[in-house]
A and B are shown apart, each in its own frame.
Chain A
Amino acid sequence: MNIPDDLFYTETHEWIKREGENVRVGITDHAQSELTDVVYVELPKMDRHANAKEAVAVVESVKAASDIYAPVKGTVVEVNKALEADPGLINREPYGQGWIFVLKIDNVDELKQLKDSEAYRKQIG
């Protein structure tokens, strides 16, 4: 299972990439493999403000719909429109073209609560 060391992770299987004042968010390779073929993505609304652990997006596979949570408190400043036409990007490139949204972080200190790759690797066993 691919778990890049330069990313942060949540218990709910989002990955987080720090980009200055922003974080880019997607779901992990493990999550996409558990979800199976992604067939629909409901993107967050632009400019939406969300608390940490608040559901902001939905990823649907053939079998089920799963909520995607904001990893930290912040405002949605970018969404990956490409997923509307090609939701399978999440399966094919979970850490690349399959990113879901970008949050402008309210409080950078909150990032400390996220897991590093080692902790996430342990979580999924």
Chain B
Amino acid sequence: MTEAASRKTPLYDEHVRLGAKMVSFAGWLMPVQYTGIVAEHQAVRNNVGIFDISHMGQFIVASTPSSQKSGGEGAAATWLNMMLTNNIDKLDVGMGQYTFLLNERGGIIDDLIVYRIGDQNFLLVVNAARTEEDLAWLQEHFSVPVRIEDRSANFGGVAIQGPRIGELFHALFGKDVELPPRNAIADLPFGETTVSVARTGYTGEDGIEVFFRATNAVKFWNAALEKGKPLGIKPCGLGARDTLRLEMCYPLNGSDLSPERNPIEAGLGFFVDLSKPNFIGRDVLLKTKENGLCEKLVPFRMKEKGPPPRPHYAVFQNGQRIGEVTSGTLSPSLNWGVGMAYIDAAHAKIGAEIDIEIRGQKFRATIEKKPLYKKSTS
């Protein structure tokens, strides 16, 4: 916590009022927990939880009006398809997709969700820590009549996640309003204002992410907490967000993803469309596919009950160092140590045994399939 955090989300006062433990994260003062990470984690797995995601960056990318007049109607989509790995053309209006922003070496600048909110209108929701870098990179690569608006400072957002989301959604938006389908986004009236509701999340549970003007943040947050009370809602902090996403093997930028890692190594090739004629980083990814990987991100589970794995612990096999842990914790759902590590690709076989070195002592673990936690196995 050495980084000086100055920025407060529009929900800062609410977090303090709820007794949250606030920490510095990506330059923001964010709640790490309110009552406890484990209880908040369980609320999301069993009922419903609400997270402040106002720190995340929000960009609008659109074709300029002049480009549409001059016949360049596809400007924004064409340009985004050059900048991002997934295929924008597969997105109908009102749908979103997970995608990557890569550098020329194929390394990951950011992982993000792009929503097509109009034919040539896109909402990009990016990681807080990367917002400025993303914007600079995008602006550096303007080549067509596209405008990009950084609305991060004026907009907030919350994620509401958990199996009781349906009930809460109807309590908030009305009995007859339908939940957007998975990965879809829709503008819905809320009181006298309109909010954007996306059926997306970072927990592995059904849920929504809601984006609104910063001035509406407190009202929406409190409405969700009040309507969610009979459903067992809990406000949830970054701590639970991290354990929930790790159980699903969703990567965390800065830990599992970095400019030195590409999506293929990270096991996320599904979100890269190499059949697109061109995008930044494509050549390197093609070569990676051809020549094979050096290292691969794998999920693992400890064999014995013991100390939980942590980022930067060394990974061994038969006494040979083969990699390093990037994410690790005690999974609250499994009550067991789990993590993800980059290891030598030759050893990255599901079921293979590895050793995690914890304070000089080696502990046995098994390479697992994604995800590390499945509802049916609990």
Give residues in A with beta carbon < 8 Å to B. 34, 36-37, 39-40, 42, 58, 60-65
Q: Contacts A37-B38, A40-B307, A63-B329 given; 12 further ones with Cβ under 8 A?
A: A36-B21, A36-B37, A37-B37, A39-B308, A40-B306, A40-B330, A60-B330, A62-B38, A63-B239, A64-B310, A65-B307, A65-B310
Set of chain B residues within 8 Å of A65, measured between Cβ atoms: 307, 310
How many angstroms between the C-alpha atoms of A34 and B239 in the bound complex? 13
Residue of A nearest to B37 (CB): A62
Q: Is B33 engaged at the interface, CB distance under 8 Å to the other chain?
A: yes
Set of chain A residues within 8 Å of B21, measured between Cβ atoms: 34, 36
Known contacts A62-B243, A62-B332; is-contact A40 B308 (Cβ 8 Å): yes
How many angstroms between the C-alpha atoms of A36 and B40 in the bound complex? 12
**B308 and A60 within 8 A (CB):** yes
Contacting residues of chain B (140-194) with chain A, CB-CB under 8 angstroms: none
How many angstroms between the C-alpha atoms of A59 and B146 in the bound complex? 53
**A42 and B37 within 8 A (CB):** no
What are 21 pairs between A and B in contact, CB < 8 Å?
A34-B21, A36-B32, A36-B33, A36-B239, A37-B36, A39-B308, A39-B330, A40-B306, A40-B308, A42-B359, A58-B307, A60-B307, A60-B330, A61-B37, A62-B37, A62-B38, A62-B308, A63-B32, A63-B37, A63-B239, A63-B329
Contacting residues of chain B (328-377) with chain A, CB-CB under 8 angstroms: 329-330, 332, 359
Contacting residues of chain B (21-78) with chain A, CB-CB under 8 angstroms: 21, 32-33, 36-38
**B239 and A62 within 8 A (CB):** yes
Set of chain A residues within 8 Å of B243, measured between Cβ atoms: 62
Residue of B nearest to A62 (CB): B37
How many angstroms between the C-alpha atoms of A60 and B330 in the bound complex? 9
Interface string of B223-247 (1 = CB under 8 A from A): 0000000000000000100110000
How many angstroms between the C-alpha atoms of A16 and B359 in the bound complex? 26
Q: Which 8 pairs, one residue from A and one from B, show the smallest C-beta to C-beta distance?
A: A39-B330, A62-B37, A37-B38, A40-B307, A37-B36, A36-B37, A37-B37, A63-B239
Set of chain B residues within 8 Å of A39, measured between Cβ atoms: 308, 330
How many angstroms between the C-alpha atoms of A34 and B330 in the bound complex? 17
Set of chain B residues within 8 Å of A42, measured between Cβ atoms: 307, 359
Set of chain A residues within 8 Å of B37, measured between Cβ atoms: 36-37, 61-63
Residue of B nearest to A41 (CB): B307
How many angstroms between the C-alpha atoms of A36 and B307 in the bound complex? 16
Residue of B nearest to A55 (CB): B359
Set of chain A residues within 8 Å of B239, measured between Cβ atoms: 36, 62-63
Set of chain B residues within 8 Å of A64, measured between Cβ atoms: 310
Q: Which of B242, B243, B306, B308 has the most CB of A within 10 A?
A: B308
Q: Which of A36, A40, A58, A64 has the most CB of B within 10 A?
A: A36
**A36 and B306 within 8 A (CB):** no
Taking the nearest CB of chain A, how far is it from the CB of B277, in angstroms? 44
Set of chain B residues within 8 Å of A62, measured between Cβ atoms: 37-38, 239, 243, 308, 329-330, 332
Set of chain A residues within 8 Å of B332, measured between Cβ atoms: 62
How many angstroms between the C-alpha atoms of A80 and B359 in the bound complex? 20
How many angstroms between the C-alpha atoms of A65 and B306 in the bound complex? 13
How many angstroms between the C-alpha atoms of A60 and B38 in the bound complex? 14
Set of chain B residues within 8 Å of A63, measured between Cβ atoms: 32, 37, 239, 242, 329
How many angstroms between the C-alpha atoms of A8 and B37 in the bound complex? 30
Residue of B nearest to A42 (CB): B307
Set of chain A residues within 8 Å of B359, measured between Cβ atoms: 42, 58
Set of chain B residues within 8 Å of A61, measured between Cβ atoms: 37
Set of chain B residues within 8 Å of A36, measured between Cβ atoms: 21, 32-33, 36-37, 239
Residue of B nearest to A87 (CB): B330
Taking the nearest CB of chain A, how far is it from the CB of B25, in angstroms? 12
How many angstroms between the C-alpha atoms of A37 and B359 in the bound complex? 21
How many angstroms between the C-alpha atoms of A62 and B33 in the bound complex? 11
How many angstroms between the C-alpha atoms of A93 and B359 in the bound complex? 27
Taking the nearest CB of chain B, how far is it from the CB of A89, in angstroms? 15
Set of chain A residues within 8 Å of B33, measured between Cβ atoms: 36
Taking the nearest CB of chain B, how far is it from the CB of A11, in angstroms? 17
Taking the nearest CB of chain B, how far is it from the CB of A90, in angstroms? 13
Taking the nearest CB of chain B, how far is it from the CB of A55, in angstroms? 10
